[in-house]
Amino acid sequence: MAKPRRQAAMVFILITIFIDILGIGIIIPVLPELVKSFVGGSTTLAGRYVGTIAASYALMQFFCAPVLGALSDRFGRRPIILIALFGLSIDYLIQGFAPSITWLFVGRVLAGVAGASFTTANAYIADVSDPEDRARNFGLVGVAFGLGFICGPALGGLLGGLSLRLPFFVSAGLAMVNWLYGFFILPESLAPENRSAFSWSKVHPLGSLKTLRAYPLVSGLSVAFVLIALAQRGLENVWVLFTGYRFGWNEQTNGLTLALVGVMAAIVQGTLVRPAIKRWGERQCILIGLVISTFAFFAYSLANQGWMLLAIIVVGSLGGIAGPAVQGMVAGSVSPSDQGKVQGALTALMSLTAIVAPLVFTAGLFSFFTSKRAPFEFAGAPFFVGSILCAISIVVLVRLFRRIPPVELEGLEKELQAE
């Protein structure tokens, strides 16, 4: 694929990811209120439904991400991305018109299926990225995530003030516009000679993990990947409860704070990833990022004043250089015919952590250490455990990098590029 076409394709993928995250963010402020309207205004009952809906979304991603990834290895990235975008637009309409909570469930389940297209988007980026640009391109994905996370909730709150259903219709329109743009402009990134046969035995969630074992570096990275994702999903799920319990923060304060998280993610991954990779290399950036994240989680657990959280967010965001470096290493050590399956397996693992984290960190650690049953009060327990998980991931990666030296990996990359 020529360089200008690659750049155009990257722009489309980044817009796609931004609109996906924007669409998710738009409905965050209104989904609980819409659920409450279906259950007679009961906050307690609405909370149970919202938690179940969130788990169903993650569960569908867990099952569908490997399938979409493998299908993209067989038929190409373009048709899978376009089908997913069209599906998202229909899904948002279903949620917007939902006459009951059952239909809202149906909409979120379909959203989980279509949302698994992040697998194919990552594989597309791997296809169109040169080795020297991989980490930067995955860093730009982080920028798209950050911007979507900044704009989505703010826009959702504004639209929701007019109508609880309006944000869903706006999300449907954005997804359809993106589908039209992709239909007429997006080129295919996977050459026919690099495509592989589809096999159901390789795409069920647990079976897809066998693909990772074919790549020792990727399988080792995936262990650390899961530990880090668990810590991050735990933080996301318990954040609002923690800040309300310890500092009495309201929805507006939490919204502004989460916007700061998005801003810092966009800054770090948009401006720091490439120079950091160039200076220290992917391996060192991963370890540096994880060390920063370990201390950030530990600091969150002990923070006793609200302003401390803001300072930790700013400093801890520097740990964001690790994610694009991990994605870059994965993309560089996997053959083109397996990119979709590997990305699908990693997305499935991410979805699995999104199912487990609310149970372990929120219903488990936070609820226990803020109850009378606890030996001592420690609302920051989920963050403390998160810091331990990050520290364990550092140990795992140090041992992995010693076992697979850079010279050996460079030889593997040359072999893959020659395929």
Q: What is the pLDDT of residues 348-357, one digit of tens each?
A: 777 778 778 7
Q: pLDDT, tens digit, for every residue of 214-263?
A: 777 888 888 888 898 889 888 877 777 788 778 887 766 776 787 788 78
The closest of 39, 60, 61 to 50, measured between CA atoms, is 39
The alpha-helical segments, DSSP class H, found in 76-131 are 77-97, 101-115, 118-128
So what's the pLDDT on residue 390?
94
The closest of 297, 253, 290, 318 to 396, measured between CA atoms, is 290
Question: pLDDT band for position 393 (50/70/90)?
Answer: very high
Query: Picking from 199-203, 276-280, 394-398, which range would have the lowest pLDDT averaged per residue?
Result: 199-203
So what's the pLDDT on residue 7?
64
| Angle of CA points 210, 211, 214, to nearest 5° | 100
So what's the pLDDT on residue 87?
87
Q: Which tokens belong to 117?
A: 């297209």
Q: pLDDT, tens digit, for every residue of 363-385?
A: 678 878 887 888 988 989 989 99
The mean per-residue pLDDT over the stretch 337-366 comes to: 75
The mean per-residue pLDDT over the stretch 131-136 comes to: 70
| pLDDT of 103 higher than 70 | yes
CA 341 to chain CA centroid, nearest Å: 17
Q: Give the Cβ contact number of residue 278 at 10 Å.
A: 12
Q: What is the Cα–Cα distance from 364 to 354, expressed in whole angstroms?
A: 15
CATH homologous superfamily for the domain 3-186+204-418: MFS general substrate transporter like domains (1.20.1250.20)
Question: pLDDT band for position 51 (50/70/90)?
Answer: low
The mean per-residue pLDDT over the stretch 330-358 comes to: 74
Average pLDDT score over the chain? 79
Cα–Cα distances in angstroms (integers) from residue 153 to residues 58, 117, 148, 164, 284, in the given order: 20, 22, 9, 13, 34
So what's the pLDDT on residue 308?
94
Helices 216-247/381-403 angle, 10° precision: 160
The model's pTM: 0.67
Q: What is the Cα–Cα distance from 61 to 315, expressed in whole angstroms?
A: 31
Residue that is written with structure tokens 């540096």 in the block: 288
Question: pLDDT band for position 204 (50/70/90)?
Answer: low
210-215, long-range: CB within 8 Å, 24+ apart, which pairs? 211/338, 211/341, 211/342, 211/345, 212/342, 212/345, 212/346, 214/338, 215/333, 215/334, 215/338, 215/342
Question: pLDDT band for position 207 (50/70/90)?
Answer: low
Question: pLDDT band for position 417 (50/70/90)?
Answer: very low
User: Would you list the DSSP string of 301-331?
Assistant: HH--SHHHHHHHHHHHGGGGGHHHHHHHHHH
Question: pLDDT band for position 277 (50/70/90)?
Answer: confident
What element of type H or E holds 411?
Answer: helix 406-418
The mean per-residue pLDDT over the stretch 9-19 comes to: 78
Q: Is 184 exposed, middle or buried (0-12, 13-18, 19+ CB in 10 A)?
A: exposed
